Structure 1
Amino acid sequence: MQHIAMIGGGLAGTLVAMHLVRHAQRPLCITLFDQQAQFQTGIAYAQSDFRHLLNVAAGKMSAWPDQPLHFVQWLQQQPAYANIDGALLAQTYLPRALYGQYLQQQWQQTVQDASSKNIQLKLLAVSVTKLRVLPTSIALSSALGEMQFDAVVVATGNELPRPPLPAASGLTAIAGYQHNPWQAVTIPHSNTQSTAKPLQPDSRVLILGNGLTMVDTVLALRQAGVRSPMISLSPHGYGMLPHRVSAVKLPDFASTLGEHPSLRQALRLFNQQRKQLRQLGISAEGLVDNLRPYSQLWWRGFSSAEKQFFFRKLRHLWGVARHRLPLQIHDQIQQLRLQGALEVRAGRLLSCQQHDSGIEVQFIAKGQTAPEVRQVDHIINCTGPENCYPRLANHMLATAIAEGVLASGPLELGLAACPGSLALKNGSGDIHPRLFGIGSILRGELWETTALNEIRQQAHQLAGQLLLLE
């Protein structure tokens, strides 16, 4: 019997397992490791608060790439959505918790299908601490000991953010500092089971970062009762953009560049299209969506110098245009800014000092030379996941890279892999025939690889490849 393991039991690992069960024609044993025990939903879709919405319309959220409207059809089977037109539902931004329920129901069906096919499914709520490549298998170590598998998929998802200041600053020892933003958004007013400083309605909060996680954090803090003005500090301070409903269908301008344009050619064409749309009074935000089908192929064709330039100069602008908000969430954030409840600043954090009255924060605003000083009670790190794995302390991936079992990807983003097969590489550049990656760990190789559309395609591809292994 073939034994396959997923390191990570969230969305990516679950989708691979679901596709394996769907397509398997013989008995298998599939094991999912997840140290947080957040199987199926992961952190993203485990929230119980239905006010947190998906950032992608329902029509693009099917778990099955060959059934693009599967999620919409599932919705129409739910009493709350049974009488709503499917075309309207497909354009709607729905609660993440609802999508979590969808994933769990898909998993329940997978469990039934596995039983009928004599496929074993094991969910292990432990952390994988070491990875070894053997001649004909992969060995994974955990608190349960060492286990050997015929093939392994690394589906670890997003890591915690990078500390915003050097270790010598003492920031991580400050009681009001929250390094894990996904824990921060669930901190209640008082929690005797937590060592974190409890939030109060008058708590002064500094949020480091200005992306989607910042938005989640602001809304969660407001829902928890925090009423003091909050500050968001990021290097650029770009404003978030909304998803706008538009009847205008943009032309497929990207296809005119072929498969391997230079970065300069892509930028020139993008800017030409952007100016043209603005002259016509049409929002240019959808241009990034037009590029999505080509982004992985183009990224793979860019030179190292082009990738470095994009990463240094353009990635933040790409992120703003790429990661837009549902219109109603964008309106809430804008209203908070107009009310003075949220201040978005561009700048760089310099230091933090704990005092009896709170935390003294120094930062230098963009374009200024003299630092500003603020007093806050909490600092929440929403700067985005760490993608340079050698920086991760006491982490299986960092250890594997140090030992040469794995290698960092281009620009030290994620892991080195074969973009076509998704097979991971070792420190010498050799491809592991039984070790694969999915999702965010492929960021350096593919750039756009964190959204459901890419992950479900990769899961489908990996399932087919894994089932062909002897």
Structure 2
Amino acid sequence: MHYDPKPGHSVIIVGGGFAGALTALKLLDQTTVGLSITIIEPRAELGRGVAYSTEDPAHLVNGPAEIFSLYPDDMGHLSRWLAKNGPANGWQPPADVAASSPPRHLYGTYMRDELKRAAAEARSGSSLRHVRSQAAHLSSSPHRVRVATTDGTVLEADETVLALGVFRPDLRPDEAAVAGHPRFAENPWNAAALDRLSDSSDILIIGASLSMVDAIASMEARGFRGRYRVISRRGQFVEGRRNAEPARDFLAEGPLPSTARGLLARVKAERRKLAAAGEDWQGLPLAIRPHILPLWQNADDRERLRFARHLRPFWDVTAHRSAPESHRSVEEARSQGRLAHGTARLLALRPVRNGIAATLKTAAGIEETVFAGVIDCRGHQLHDWRQISDPFVRELLSSGEVRPHSTGFGIDATPEGDLINEEGRIHRNLSAIGHPLRGVAWESSSITEQRTQAIALAERILAKFTPARAPS
């Protein structure tokens, strides 16, 4: 075991994907004191995580570059960076860079390079260290937090941030028989798995959200000309993004609704007005999104769970739309009669001689159909920490350092992101950002929300190291 305490002001960030790297960037850019930051992340590059590790050029950021700058006070920063650095990274910027959706791998390069820049320009005495390992154990005291890694290193710091990202659910027992099967792509971003399916006659895609768009765009780029059958439990199907202007701020007219039913009534009334005026409904989620945090935090758990149970599928496909260039592949396959979508529930998967047999429950009853290939596009959507099999997540819960959020989404924390242990005590030196805060803030997965969280978190941490500094 190697013990590695850090003298002076120090922060450990567990997880070096987008949220963890962005937190480090904001700390380094804003600190006025020497600051030692250690990021525990097994990947070779910081800032990529799951979303930005894909090297497939068909996998695009699901929004225009003009809204995804790392610096909200300089929203043109990303567009300028893309214009300058895109060609050297294999991407030719279009004439209107600000309205474009760059490849996600390129956006990950932007995050990586900006973190390197922040580390190089940080105040004298500051440092950024990348420990390529995984966290195994965490213990906190009122003034220090200690984290042990799987390779035996023990790190200690004043503050620790959990930026653990997303987790895929394990295959159910009635699906486990196809694990490792050459005709089953458990991960829609696994290039080798998709390569094996390129000669298939037909493919079952489980899930109809953004991961489905990635899978179809990738398969079309590989020359696949077979048929897709896309299934989803609620029958929802993600749409491509149009450049609609935000609708009027209708939720600002009077008190925010306190129930899911009340919210739905307001939204449906506004959508009818938009339809009557011939305006694009895609402006509606843009008007709703700034109110999501107060809507969620002002609701009680009963209403939060009611929203999650009944309205979440509609919100997910309405708010999270795909880049136009990616969605074009979906629409072309559909127009050629090669894509069919319907409501169905997957009951089981099993290997057969010529592919994979899927047992589905549809409105017509139970059916079993054999497909030449299956792609699991349900995504990294396991938000209930009690069901996550990751050893560090299990250890955090069993040790009592954190507790599940009462909604079952993520872990419990204050509205600011300070974590709460199993006894209800608020940690003053242990915070979280991004996906672990799903139960606290609901929308915690997108670039814009994580950017806001990272800025606020960095200000709170630095205020402790420089008491005269007050968070803005």
Comparing 135-144 with 224-233, greater Cα deviation is found at 224-233
Comparing 330-339 with 151-160, greater Cα deviation is found at 330-339
Aligned residue number for residue 92 of structure 1: 100
Cα displacement string for residues 56-89 of structure 1 (whole angstroms, at most 9, x for unaligned residues): 111101112232222123234447699977xx43
Aligned residue number for residue 187 of structure 1: 193
Comparing 291-300 with 424-433, greater Cα deviation is found at 424-433
Query: Does 2:195 align with 1:215?
Result: no
Q: CA RMSD in A?
A: 2.4
Q: 1:302 aligns with which of 266, 281, 299?
A: 299
Alpha-carbon spacing, 1:124–1:205, altered in 2? closer, same or farther (3 Å): farther
Amino acid at match of 1:25: T
SS in 2 for 1:469: helix
With the length of structure 2 as denominator, give the TM-score of the two structures.
0.89
Cα displacement string for residues 160-210 of structure 1 (whole angstroms, at most 9, x for unaligned residues): 1353x3368634365543433333x45363xxxxxxxx4451264322111
Aligned residue number for residue 437 of structure 2: 442
Aligned residue number for residue 427 of structure 1: 422
Instruction: Report if the CA contact (8 A) 1:162-1:386 is conserved.
Output: no
Instruction: Report if the CA contact (8 A) 1:40-1:103 is conserved.
Output: yes
CA distance in structure 2 between the partners assigned to 1:102 and 1:125 by the alignment: 21
CA distance in structure 2 between the partners assigned to 1:428 and 1:177 by the alignment: 43
Amino acid at match of 2:296: W
Aligned residue number for residue 245 of structure 1: 243
Q: 1:205 aligns with which of 190, 193, 203?
A: 203
Instruction: Report if the CA contact (8 A) 1:7-1:153 is conserved.
Output: yes
CA distance in structure 2 between the partners assigned to 1:5 and 1:224 by the alignment: 42
Aligned residue number for residue 323 of structure 1: 320
Instruction: Report if the CA contact (8 A) 1:260-1:301 is conserved.
Output: no
Aligned residue number for residue 17 of structure 1: 24
Aligned residue number for residue 469 of structure 2: none
CA distance in structure 2 between the partners assigned to 1:306 and 1:452 by the alignment: 26
Cα displacement string for residues 18-40 of structure 1 (whole angstroms, at most 9, x for unaligned residues): 11111111211111111233412
Amino acid at match of 1:368: A
CA distance in structure 1 between the partners assigned to 2:436 and 2:201 by the alignment: 36
Aligned residue number for residue 331 of structure 2: 334
Instruction: Report if the CA contact (8 A) 1:390-1:402 is conserved.
Output: no
For residues 123-134 of structure 1, the aligned pairs below 5 Å read 123-134=130-141
Amino acid at match of 1:95: P
CA distance in structure 2 between the partners assigned to 1:293 and 1:92 by the alignment: 23
CA distance in structure 1 between the partners assigned to 2:279 and 2:337 by the alignment: 30
CA distance in structure 1 between the partners assigned to 2:175 and 2:94 by the alignment: 56
Please state how far the C-alpha of 1:431 moved relative to its aligned partner: 1.0
Alpha-carbon spacing, 1:257–1:430, altered in 2? closer, same or farther (3 Å): farther
Amino acid at match of 1:234: S
Instruction: Report if the CA contact (8 A) 2:257-2:295 is conserved.
Output: yes
Cα displacement string for residues 355-380 of structure 1 (whole angstroms, at most 9, x for unaligned residues): 22222211111x222x2222124333
SS in 2 for 1:21: helix
Aligned residue number for residue 460 of structure 1: 455
CA distance in structure 2 between the partners assigned to 1:220 and 1:168 by the alignment: 24
Comparing 22-31 with 356-365, greater Cα deviation is found at 356-365
The runs of 5 or more residues in structure 2 that have no matched partner are: 1-7, 466-472
Aligned residue number for residue 233 of structure 1: 231
Amino acid at match of 1:132: S
Query: Does 2:168 align with 1:172?
Result: no
For residues 104-143 of structure 1, the aligned pairs below 5 Å read 104-114=112-122, 117-142=124-149, 143=151
Instruction: Report if the CA contact (8 A) 2:94-2:100 is conserved.
Output: no
Amino acid at match of 1:130: H
Alpha-carbon spacing, 1:231–1:38, altered in 2? closer, same or farther (3 Å): farther
Number of equivalent positions:
453
**Runs ≥4 residues deviating over 6 A:** 81-85
Aligned residue number for residue 193 of structure 1: none
Aligned residue number for residue 446 of structure 2: 451
Identity %: 26
Alpha-carbon spacing, 1:22–1:389, altered in 2? closer, same or farther (3 Å): same
Query: Does 2:278 align with 1:281?
Result: yes
Instruction: Report if the CA contact (8 A) 1:414-1:441 is conserved.
Output: yes
CA distance in structure 2 between the partners assigned to 1:441 and 1:83 by the alignment: 35
Cα displacement string for residues 128-171 of structure 1 (whole angstroms, at most 9, x for unaligned residues): 122222342112121132222211111111111353x3368634
Please state how far the C-alpha of 1:317 moved relative to its aligned partner: 0.5
Q: 1:399 aligns with which of 385, 395, 398?
A: 395
Alpha-carbon spacing, 1:51–1:168, altered in 2? closer, same or farther (3 Å): closer
CA distance in structure 1 between the partners assigned to 2:111 and 2:25 by the alignment: 10
Comparing 44-53 with 104-113, greater Cα deviation is found at 44-53
Amino acid at match of 1:20: L
Comparing 223-232 with 378-387, greater Cα deviation is found at 223-232
The runs of 5 or more residues in structure 1 that have no matched partner are: 190-197
Alpha-carbon spacing, 1:249–1:219, altered in 2? closer, same or farther (3 Å): closer
Q: 2:405 aligns with which of 386, 402, 409?
A: 409
With the length of structure 1 as denominator, give the TM-score of the two structures.
0.90
CA distance in structure 2 between the partners assigned to 1:349 and 1:102 by the alignment: 38
Cα displacement string for residues 278-330 of structure 1 (whole angstroms, at most 9, x for unaligned residues): 11221212111101111011111112111111111110000110111222322
SS in 1 for 2:445: coil
Instruction: Report if the CA contact (8 A) 2:356-2:370 is conserved.
Output: yes
Please state how far the C-alpha of 1:414 moved relative to its aligned partner: 0.8
Amino acid at match of 1:389: W
Comparing 382-391 with 63-72, greater Cα deviation is found at 63-72
